[in-house]
Structure 1
Amino acid sequence: GITGNPSGQENALSEKTEVRTDTKPALQPENPETTKDTAGSDNADVKVDEVDAVTTNDQNPDEELSETVKTTTGVSDLRIIISQAAENKTQFTVSTIGCAGKAEIGRVLFPTWTARNGQDDLHWYEGTRDKNGEFCITIDSKDHGYETGSYLIHTYIHGQQGEILKVVGSSYNLEESQPVISMTEIWNNCFKVSISGISNRNGVSDVVVPTWTQINGHDDLRWEKATYVGNDTWEAVINIADYKQSYDTFISHVYVTDKNGQQKYLGATTKIIDNPFVKDPLEVTAQQQENDGSKFVISTQNCSKKPGIKQVDFAVWSNRNGQDEIRWYQGVLGANGEYLASVDIENHGFETGPFIIHTYIKGNNGETISFASVNFTLAKLNPIIEYDKAVLNNTFKIRIRNVGSENGVTAIMMPTWSRSNGQDDLR
């Protein structure tokens, strides 16, 4: 567990709530989108009669659910069917039976709320007509605070002029699932903690995943927030770079806060991340740059998709006179997941010939997690002399490209004179 965890959390999600059994239907308010469904109103302006009806779910089609119906003439045979969604355990479908072929029906509304805390989560859903001519909606618990248990559904059948033809009251019990905590594989230096089946009768307002590495206890503890991704599943993204250890046992706990503000410890999971360079040693190459012979490019070859890399450093120097011109280059992460650095011999006294390259892979805590040494020989350069044919302000320029040698270059002189009278104007 985590030090400082609120007491009594283990009972937070098992707290019982009083289930409302009054499913007596009511007439639609004037502004249903913003007004509560006034069940049992004595001020109804439409005269209705009560009849019996049955709703079922697909797990037990013969099970009778509590239901009351008020109706006008013309749609007395209408019924409501409620069934659990096959591929999403947080959803169920409400559908009319008997609307097909009735031209007098204009639209159907389904105000829905959970039995907990009255109509605090009331939603008005408008039904869509399916290919069979019936009206249906899909209700998701995420729109009702992720609550399970008893849902109350009233169905309003409206005529073409907006008048109410019939009102049906139904209920449905959305079952709880067993919570499951799992972890994904590592991708882009991250892994995910996935938590499913946590919807409950008290709802869900927040899910957090405190995570830390095993070495040195809670010194890198972070409270990662999980987000809802659908189908009663929440996910927290764990970025390895946010922790002090690149390779260690990562420990994650899961806490769920319900709509009553009670937090409960749900469970824990661990992920062991090993140094991948132990089995796959670091590989580095270097090659002369195509468009500039005075430069060469260093590149790692097997860092892509490996976790725990915070930084890559390349130490470079020529073989002449030891490390008198050593330079450190920080690798830049390329689109292919490898680290690159461009070396210009200007930084190394314009020397060509053999170069020595040491590569250091650094982890989250600055520690070296892998090392490689390679040699590269920069070929002899062929200088190219150019000059400007145009004279501007009585001046023209001479330039020399691809300058370098195995002994380096400290200066370049360009003695110049005019053709007439020999070198009498040599400079």
Structure 2
Amino acid sequence: MKKKDLIFYAGTAVLLAFSTQQVKADEQHASDQTPENTSAIVATTTSSEAQNTTADVVGNDQAVQTENTVATVATPVTPTPSSDKETNEKVPSEQPTTAVVASRAPYGARARVVESEDNSLPVEKVEKPSGTLTIENNNVVTGTFDAVIRNVVAPNGLKEVLVPTWSDKDWQDDIVWHKAVRQSDGSYRATIKASDHKNEDGKYNVHVHFIDVNNRRSYVTETVTEVKQIKPSGTVTIENNNTVTGTFDAVIRNVVAPNGLKEVLVPTWSDKDWQDDIVWHKAVRQSDGSYRATIKVSDHKNEDGKYNVHVHFIDVNNHRSYVTETVTEVKQIKPSGTVTIENNNTVTGTFDAVIRNVVAPNGLKEVLIPTWSDSNGPDDLVWHKAVRQSDGSYRATIKASDHKNEDGKYNVHVYYVDQNNQRNYITETTTEVRQARRSGTILIQNNNKDTGTFDVIIKDVYNPKGVRTVQVPTWSDKDGQDDIRWYEATRQANGDYKVSVKASDHKNSTGKYHVHLYYIQNDGSRVGVGTTTTEVEFRNAKTKTQASIKNVNSGAGTYTVTVDQAPQGRRIKNIRVAAWSQAHQENLYWYSTAPSGMHTEVQVSAANHQYQSGNYTTHVYVDYVDGGVEGFNLGQTALHPRATVDQTAFSPRVTNGQRDRVLRAAASLVGVRGGTAAHQQLVNDYNSVKPLPVGYAVKTTDDWCDIFVTTVFQREGLSGLIGRECGVERHIQIFKRLGIWNEDGTTTPKAGDIITFNWDQNSQPNNGFADHIGIVESVSNGIIHTIEGNSNDQVRRNTYRIGHGNIRGFATPRYQ
């Protein structure tokens, strides 16, 4: 009869019972020991029990143990890629035997006590997953090898074959679970790439696991292999280190690129400030197979000193590999030169900055000389352009007039602009400027209290820019400058200049007179020199008629004869003026008018005298109500009228220049600021012509852009070309009446045209309210150059593109 199989699940109890049975048998020397009751322990291990002890790393050193040593088979353990389950080996039950199982082993060993009726120990035969692993195609160039699994046995089916692989370096930090691919011959193959394992060389551990159809994983086998890759390599040398151009070549030779070569990069930087100037240069393949990159220090902040040059390869898989490096010293020849100051002229207020010993390794496009005076910082900075001389030096003439005519220390710097338009500071110096200042002494002589006359004598006349004309504007204190007259002084034999002033030319005003002195310089600009005052009495003014000449405009060919009736004198009935310039009075013309109150003016124009140039004699005849006649010889007045269309028949030799006169007069006022004496003079001149437009006497606090335009034309005797106004919008209406207005702000004006603006609109067509006005000085390259009054409260030059949105329109005076 078969004995009943007993299975105990408590490991220690089973072993204890078994041990006691053995001891008892020894003591009794029992004769009933037969094969039937002979016991044995068989240790088996299930894969599921082994899986329960799997760690996070792959190992194969675990052993199975029981309380009494039992022979077992140790199974290596590898980490799971996705789950902790492995295949359980299911063993068929053995009906004729009794088994007792106990296990404390970390690998999950199972001990079974078998009682058999015979002397043989039954062996549980279970077919396990198995296979052989070989390494093939170990390629030192590509850094790859194949793990090939053959003789595959998978009793529970095979879903996939995994090949966990890692290099010996840093243990399993580069482990990858590769999936093997089934081949046509039934084997499985996985290609292992060192690039997937941090490109490590040395020993690689290769394990094999099967995943059965129940998704249980079983360790199968393992091996190791040596990986020795051919690394990307090359040599780098520095060639053509050029101190002039500041360049060198990095040349890469002996190129080895096992994974193909897409490009060679040469990251380069100077030692200064670490890698703040790093540039990744791309080397170019040469015909001999080398690669070359030209490094320019201009790409590296033009630094000198040590340069770090590294080499990296980019393979066909776009992987970048460091290859090698070197260093080189860069010493550039810097741009240089010397600057000296020559021809420091106190009379002209000029000096020359001369640049010699010019070294320009990157070529020289131009030499710039930024210069400014110490006064008020660089507010007068001008970038002068030096001119190359025949000896190779460069020279720039610096004018104090370009620097607000400042005296004192001047700062002179030198910059080179190379062929790449890079500007480099070179050197600097300073110089002292002491200009010989203009001078003139004003004296009042022959002050006659009966006739109300005095002479103005100007001595010590000097001006560094020359003196073309001496002007003496004079007016009485009464009613401001309503009686101002600009006298042109006459040069005397001793070099002095003289002007005779009559109170009768100043509305017979008495009291304080203001006398100012101006020079017209050789360039046409006017500069103030000095002032004085004098007291005037005119005792004869109360009883005697006074006749005089004022407002002489030689270029326009006009002047004004004034006749003033004495408050206590004879009453005037009629006034006749005879004027001529030719010796035999061929161009004599008579002007006749009735008196207009106590003060009468008669306009004399060369247009009535065949536009002849010369000295015009003026006689005035006053017819009184009482029948008497009084004559006045006002002497001679020089007129040199410029040519007009009407004039050409009489004087073809006179040149055409009304436009030039206007532009010259406007340019002479550039720099005049609001609130200065010159600004006050503009206002006074505007107000001096009666009747005033719209009856308004402008003030120095008013906007004065149109005052500037009107007065420029007025001073040249050309008011008739544009009319007189102080308001821009009203002036446009005058332009329209004169037939000179152009509403289209996109047209191209000409020099001498009037330009108007509407700042509230910046698009064309602009038909808004005009609020600014100026004079077009020139037009070139699509740019309009203007001279404008009250531009930032001064007379200044401005530029606008043709068709600028703020342009309201233009007026084109009919210049002759």
Calculate the TM-score normalised by the size of structure 1: 0.36
Select the structure with the greater relative contact order (CA < 8 A; seq sep ≥ 6). Answer: 1
Relative to total residues, which structure has the larger helix share, 1 or 2? 2
Calculate the TM-score normalised by the size of structure 2: 0.21
Q: Rg bigger for which structure?
A: 2
